[in-house]
Structure 1
Amino acid sequence: MDKQAVFAQVANLEERIGELYGELGSLKKKIMELLEENSKLQIENENLRNRLERQTHKQGDVSVPLGEGFDALARLYHEGFHVCNVHYGSMRTEGDCLFCLSFLHKS
């Protein structure tokens, strides 16, 4: 085997390894996204189960009287959900949200 053929084979192998490395990176990123989504869904599921359990124990008591929407939003925020117009309804994963706090302190 001559030197150019060996060099071409090594270059081809290097290119294939680069493509595989890129594909591996994409798969790793997708796995991280799926793990993060799974974690958020587990937290949300646990929160919903806790709320359902509290409501079941109250035996039909309505925990939020009519006209108290602001209190309901404040409760949702403290349960870990966004109440701002930017991320409304999604889980808060990184501490307090300045948009939510600004909204809650306006009233």
Structure 2
Amino acid sequence: MEQIEIGSGDARWSLKGMSALVTGGTRGIGHAIIEEFARFGAVIYTCSRNQKELDECLEEWKRMGFRVAGSVCDLSVRAQRDKLMETVAWLFQWENQYPGE
């Protein structure tokens, strides 16, 4: 059986024009998901409870040429979840109207 390798060089896969919200993106699985989605061309928004970690990751992703934005959010706090959803909805609407800007 042929093994199919999925990676950044695989032209069959693309998330260009797609947007994703990845919570907890500064560590572990969330971090890995962001980098993989970004390699496939997605625009990503993430959140973290830790401003320092978030800033470091956003800077790293920017250097890598990834389109990732984010904010501090504790998802256990309803007001912060609501604000996150408002922000993401606005940003993704903007991205759909003005891709790549």
TM-score normalised by length of structure 2: 0.25
Q: Which fold has the larger relative contact order, with Cα–Cα distance below 8 Å and residues 6 or more apart in sequence?
A: 2
Larger strand percent: 2
Larger gyration radius, structure 1 or structure 2: 1
TM-score normalised by length of structure 1: 0.24
